[in-house]
Structure 1
């Protein structure tokens, strides 16, 4: 396995779905709580990226092992294990190395933060594994969009903000003292953070939804009962567009509540190119031709939010 085949195996181009929420959570902590810890930042970065790559590799390996049809639908080119003629033992070895790296850095992060990160991180690890592995993986159920959106959107943003803000700002704490577990919650701050996460949650859910829309015929053939298989392409496309509009509505609400700076107004015009991409995808749903538009929409909306938050921090300084 060379670098190119490794990057294809882990689908490195899709890692923005975890790295952008990570950046958003970090900037949220800087903007709202004026707090940043470089050591915790690096530990979470390595753990998160390693685990994201591992789950993608597991998903490709599982599809390779469980495929009912090994030709047609672009199978020979879409699955990197087949395309690059990778040995199964090598793929399994890479997956194990990535998981060890993710767990190791994750435990170091827990040691520097507390039980809450262990609880949320452990739950995320479990969902990540079950997403691609097991008797009935989540990715083969109509729940993939929900789980991917919540865990890659909200949970990543929450943890990446929490490791900087921490208990000192009383956002949320979970401690073990003398055999007692102490749990404190600032409900308003958690609700604000959840509202801040909604555009990322919905856009990540849409990446999974678009992927499943493109694969409807192949999924039926391989007995993957995803959401578009259940509700049909027309309804799936309607849901797809609705989630984008809900993201922009959330941004306006955040602006009114004062969670976002006034510079947020600079994000709203991105709706124009996003709608053009949305129309193109509605006309043609193909992995090789239009799926990239969905990734661009994710980058367009959430990447612009990163720029706005950076500008707000600079201007405040």
Structure 2
């Protein structure tokens, strides 16, 4: 398998959805908690990218195997396009899963065993998002679950491995007893600040499912747009974008973020142009990219401003 084919299989261009919550979680740990651990950050970054590629490969394999439309299998799915043997993909998936698990266990040793539970939950959801008799991605739960696991899960772990403070969240065993300790205010702060990425990542799945609605029905995938209708799905897409801006404003008012983050409001003008293009038509080859442009525009601005805010602490 060539590198180009591998990148198509794992859809390397979609890894921005993992990169942004990782960067934001790391920067927020530095800004809000005054904490940074380079080794833990690098270990988590590599494990996160490998696991993200694993879940995408599983997704493409499941879509190929479960497809009812032969045209989709041969011409749309990368496995049929590139004529990749299924056994080779399975071996690749297992190898990447083992590598990500090994790196995750290294992080557990370096932090706290509670990370094992959090990581296992993310692994479970990631694998069964597209695998199994009733994958999550083929249900109306795909959007909120993908948003929460990637938008908040990655953000939280990126911050957690840097903070490495038992007062944030820890699990300690003492003979037959165990102690679960955490700081509710800090955890709520992490969740609230992660919300823009939660919403924008959910929007990527929402746009994908809206554009693929007719094709999904043919292939027996009944996602959220099937249940609420295409018109309401488009309206929800817009609402989630504007809610992202509202969260930033509230986070500044609550003193979770520096006031310089309010400059992100300057991206509303190009964002409105993106939304207008998407609202006009929902075609996978033409306007799905709007959901990617939105998260790049919003989250790259947020990353830059959050990094800049470190200079004004």
**When the two structures are superposed, what TM-score results if normalisation uses the length of structure 1?**
0.96
SS in 1 for 2:260: helix
Q: CA deviation at 1:293?
A: 1.3
Q: What pairs up with 1:97-136 in 2 under 5 angstroms?
A: 97-136=95-134
SS in 1 for 2:284: coil
CA contact (8 A) 1:277 1:293 kept: yes
Q: What is residue 295 of structure 1 aligned with on the other side? A: 292
Matched pairs, number: 313
Segment of structure 1 superposing worse, 89-98 or 193-202: 89-98
CA–CA separation in structure 2 for the residues paired with 1:177 and 1:41: 29
CA–CA separation in structure 2 for the residues paired with 1:55 and 1:271: 32
Q: What is residue 195 of structure 1 aligned with on the other side? A: 192
Q: What is residue 276 of structure 1 aligned with on the other side? A: 273
Q: What pairs up with 1:70-81 in 2 under 5 angstroms?
A: 70-71=70-71, 76-81=74-79
Please list the CA deviations of residues 176-204 of structure 1 after superposition, one character each: whole Å capped at 9, or x if unmatched. Answer: 23232211121111111111010000000
Q: What is residue 173 of structure 1 aligned with on the other side? A: 170
Please list the CA deviations of residues 46-94 of structure 1 after superposition, one character each: whole Å capped at 9, or x if unmatched. Answer: 111111000000000001101000216xx54431111111111111111
Residues 1:243 and 2:214 aligned together = no
CA contact (8 A) 1:166 1:173 kept: no
CA–CA separation in structure 2 for the residues paired with 1:189 and 1:77: 48
Segment of structure 1 superposing worse, 279-288 or 175-184: 175-184
CA–CA separation in structure 2 for the residues paired with 1:307 and 1:158: 19
Please list the CA deviations of residues 118-140 of structure 1 after superposition, one character each: whole Å capped at 9, or x if unmatched. Answer: 11100000000110100100000
Q: What is residue 67 of structure 1 aligned with on the other side? A: 67
**When the two structures are superposed, what TM-score results if normalisation uses the length of structure 2?**
0.97
Q: Gaps spanning 5+ residues in structure 1: where? A: none
RMSD: 1.2
Please list the CA deviations of residues 101-124 of structure 1 after superposition, one character each: whole Å capped at 9, or x if unmatched. Answer: 110101111111112111110000
CA contact (8 A) 1:212 1:227 kept: yes
CA–CA separation in structure 1 for the residues paired with 2:171 and 2:303: 29
Q: What is residue 37 of structure 1 aligned with on the other side? A: 37
Q: CA deviation at 1:143?
A: 0.1
Q: Gaps spanning 5+ residues in structure 2: where? A: none
Q: What is residue 205 of structure 1 aligned with on the other side? A: 202
CA–CA separation in structure 2 for the residues paired with 1:268 and 1:28: 19
SS in 2 for 1:267: helix
SS in 1 for 2:150: helix
SS in 1 for 2:285: coil
CA–CA separation in structure 1 for the residues paired with 2:177 and 2:164: 20
Q: CA deviation at 1:314?
A: 3.2
Please list the CA deviations of residues 209-263 of structure 1 after superposition, one character each: whole Å capped at 9, or x if unmatched. Answer: 0000000001110110100011110011111111111111111100101111011
Q: What is residue 150 of structure 1 aligned with on the other side? A: 148
**Change over 3 Å in CA distance of 1:20–1:57 after alignment to 2:** same
Q: What is residue 25 of structure 1 aligned with on the other side? A: 25
Q: CA deviation at 1:97?
A: 1.1
Q: What is residue 140 of structure 1 aligned with on the other side? A: 138
Please list the CA deviations of residues 154-177 of structure 1 after superposition, one character each: whole Å capped at 9, or x if unmatched. Answer: 111111101111225x22222223
Q: What is residue 80 of structure 2 aligned with on the other side? A: 82
CA–CA separation in structure 2 for the residues paired with 1:84 and 1:160: 35
CA–CA separation in structure 2 for the residues paired with 1:71 and 1:194: 42
